[in-house]
Structure 1
Amino acid sequence: MNHPQDDHSHLRETAVSRTELLRGNFLHVVRDHVRMPDGGAATREFVLHPGAVMVVGLLDDGRVVLERQYRYPMQTVMVEFPAGKLDAGEGSLACAQRELLEETGYSAREWAFAGRLAPTIAYSDEVIDIWFARGLTLGERRLDDGEFLDVFTATPAELHAWCFSGEVIDSKTLVGSMWLQNVQRGEWSLTWNAAPPVADAGESAP
């Protein structure tokens, strides 16, 4: 198998022009006209996204912090790790700290960057940074207006079982569960750093 960094120029598509299809309160959708590797033409419609974070919060007793939130497109309540999108000019760690505090009330003593995932590569450029947090202290939540979610805790074994049974189908949470399992097994390592001061929480999009 070739290494991911090997030359794949024979597969690349080149943007020729762009048309804006929608700029809503949350979604920004465009249509690009592209030149195919063989010189042919095609269109690509996709969502532009500023990026997001997900937080795997580890309590001292080994449990993890999770949320239940109604996701309208799915028409059901989903079990998820805390997550949210980057505000304009916001750094990844600052966003992770803000989202964890706003949604769950927890602040963390230490943070470790784990990796990144691209949840919807066929129709969005969204990339989610995966953060682990430990040394959690519970305070007051700061939910946005119109944001409704329940916070609960579970053992990693319970979470893994829900992923296996299909109760958890959210892609970022499935990846977070896999990452957690590999960290617990000692197969993947994390580098922990003391948390910087948390910036004042501002408005954040859903």
Structure 2
Amino acid sequence: MSFSETDLIEKQLGSTRLFEGKIINLRRDEVLLPNGKTATREVVEHPGAVAVIPRTKEGNVILVRQFRHPIGKIILEVPAGKLDPDEKPEACALRELAEETGFFANRLRKLTSMYTTPGFTNEVIHVYLAEDLEESDKQPDEDEFITSEVYSPEQIRQMIASGEICDAKSLVALCLAGI
């Protein structure tokens, strides 16, 4: 049995705001299913984010190490951060790169945009490759405690294989960059 796309679309009937926060909002939607029944969908609204793969002239990659409270662990990941209101993704990528690594990219190339977990959030992460790097001021947000570290592609592949790099956005970004 095959379906057309219109056979899959849910129609929103109503929405209730449950929470408004600094980073996310939460709403509960009532939807009409293609079969005529109704269902509830919980949606985390997110302003969007960027992830940046900073590649040095030697071909190495700068990663950041930080504690992530929701999982209770320190992890190694690509520099990333959320979009400010009305901020363009390219500007956010350059800002986050400088804040987290202390570098500016003279060449910034968009690799993709991706939904992180479309089953419950509208978050989109825009992934960039940053090259032709120059040192700038490292100015992390006052609530961020981050170290930046340089790794060769081979080291990164080993850390992916061992599970040391386990963050989904970083895994996708590094693969897209051909690491």
Q: CA deviation at 1:180?
A: 1.7
Asked if the contact 2:23/2:47 (under 8 Å) is kept, the reply is no
Q: Does 1:105 align with 2:95?
A: no
Corresponding position of 1:8: 5
Q: How many angstroms apart in 2 are the aligned matches of 1:159 and 1:118?
A: 24
Instruction: Give me the whole-angstrom Cα distance separating, in 2, the residues matched to 1:37 and 1:56.
Output: 41
Of the three residues 113, 122, 131, the one matched with 2:128 is 131
Residue of structure 2 aligned with 1:17, choices 8, 11, 14: 14
Aligned to 2:157: 160
8 Å CA contact 1:16, 1:34 repeated in 2: yes
CA contact (8 A) 1:117 1:172 kept: no
Identify the residue that residue 62 of structure 1 maps to in structure 2: 59
Structure 2 counterpart of 1:27, from 10, 24, 28: 24
Structure 1 length-normalised TM? 0.83
Deviation at 1:86, TM superposition (A): 0.7
**Matched-pair identity in %:** 36
In the other structure, the counterpart of 2:173 is 176
| Corresponding residue SS for 1:103 | helix
Which residue of the partner structure matches residue 146 of structure 1? 143
Note the residue ranges of structure 2 that are not aligned, 5 or more in a row. Answer: none
* 8 A contact 1:160–1:177 mirrored in 2: no
The equivalent of 1:39 in structure 2 is 36
Structure 1 regions of 5+ residues with no counterpart? 185-206
Contact (CA 8 Å) 1:15, 1:33: kept in 2 or not?
yes
Report what 1:197 is aligned to. none
> What is the rounded CA distance, in whole Å, between the counterparts of 1:165 and 1:12 in structure 2?
40
Match of residue 187 from structure 1 = none
Distance 1:61 1:78 in 2: 24
* Deviant stretches of 4+, over 6 Å: none
- How many angstroms does 1:25 deviate by? 2.0
Instruction: Please say if residues 59 and 134 of structure 1, whose CA atoms lie closer than 8 Å, have aligned partners that are also in contact.
Output: yes
Deviation (angstroms), 1:7: 4.9
Q: What's the CA shift for 1:139?
A: 2.0
* Matched residue count: 178
Q: Deviations over 1:156-182 (max 9, x none)?
A: 12112211221111110010121122x
Q: Aligned AA for 2:139?
A: R
Q: What's the TM-score, normalizing by structure 2?
A: 0.95
Equivalent-residue separation in structure 2 for 1:157 and 1:76 (angstroms): 24
